[in-house]
Amino acid sequence: MKRFISLLFLLLTLTACLPQSSQNSSDSSAEYIENKGSDTIVNLALAWAEKYQAENAGVRISVTGGGTGTGIAALLNNTVDLANASRKIKDEELAEARAKGIEPLEYVIARDAIAVIVNPQNPVSQLTLKQISDIYSGKITNWTEVGGEDRPIVKLSRETNSGTHIYFLETVLRLGNKEDKTLFSTDTLLLPSSEGIISEVRDNPNAIGYDGLGYVPHDLKMIAIAKEAGGAYVLPSIATVNDKSYAIARDLYIYTNGEPTGAVKQYLDWIFSDEAQAIVAELGFVPVKQ
């Protein structure tokens, strides 16, 4: 028995003296930043994180999507450092945050155009905002009603947790009228990601969808949009967002809980640098610094 106790004591002593792995040592000294939210922003956020970590070895940045609602919910639960959002925080979300002692601070980190997209086989190349509203609300159901072929219109949308979904509802379906209660037609297919919309439009010549400009591949067709009948039809681009001629453009946001400090502040400051804003343009978004 005494021999067993002596061996056990020796084993524990040796274990305590063993050096920890270099990986654990590195992890323990790293500063972590949790970044979550908008799927529109997620690719940009990943590109930023990769670049920043390559230049700042002591920082680890976790980036996940899930939608604007997911990011803001994490902010309200105080489980995230940076919440990505493709829409402004709602009044009720702000009230809930303050009731929990959280003070959301808003930063416009880039701008985006929402492109309306169709299959390249579709002959329709331009629509008014009102026509798009009528399509998504179910008033227009066949492509012949807007100058196309005799085909049923298959409507694709992001799901309701998406900030892009909410922005499109308010800006396009309701044409910016806060008193309007128009909703998406019940036969609209709700898809969980930008990639899902891209894939479905690519495969279905009857489909219409919408997505952030930075996500639209060259093999799909973007619709030129007029703000009203008789107006100019404009394609989305960095230039038409900046000159405000494109009808469906918006700010993109990051929210923090109060004034950021330490590694989070340094990273957020870097996001507004020329280096980081160049990545914004590379990915098809619009820089906030020209």
Q: What is the pLDDT of residues 119-163, one digit of tens each?
A: 999 999 999 999 999 999 999 999 999 999 999 999 999 999 888
The per-residue pLDDT for range 247-285, each reduced to its tens digit, is 999 999 999 999 999 999 999 999 999 999 999 999 989
Residue segments in the chain with a per-residue pLDDT below the cut of 70: 1-29, 290
Q: β-strand 154-158 against 189-191: which pairing, if any?
A: parallel
Report the C-alpha gap between 246 and 235 in whole angstroms: 7
Report the C-alpha gap between 209 and 250 in whole angstroms: 17
Q: pTM to 2 decimals?
A: 0.78
CATH of 30-110+252-282 given 1.10.10.970, 3.40.190.10, 3.40.50.300, 3.40.630.30: 3.40.190.10
SS3 content of the chain, % helix, strand, coil (to 5): 40, 25, 35
Report the C-alpha gap between 47 and 37 in whole angstroms: 15
Report the C-alpha gap between 201 and 217 in whole angstroms: 11
Identical topology for domains 30-110+252-282 and 112-249: yes
Indicate the domain borders of the chain: 30-110+252-282, 112-249
In the block, residue with structure tokens 């128009």: 182
Structure tokens at 149: 């072929």
pLDDT at 194: 87
pLDDT at 5: 40
pLDDT at 27: 54
- Which one-letter amino acid corresponds to residue 229? A
Report the C-alpha gap between 153 and 129 in whole angstroms: 16
- Nearest Cα neighbor of 129 from 89, 182, 81, 82 is 182
Q: Note the CATH number of domain 112-249.
A: 3.40.190.10
- Nearest Cα neighbor of 75 from 49, 93, 48, 88 is 93
Report the C-alpha gap between 263 and 33 in whole angstroms: 8
Q: β-strand 189-191 against 31-37: which pairing, if any?
A: unpaired
pLDDT at 11: 38
Tell me the backbone φ, ψ of residue 84, rounded to 5 degrees.
-85, 140
- Nearest Cα neighbor of 73 from 91, 88, 93, 51 is 93
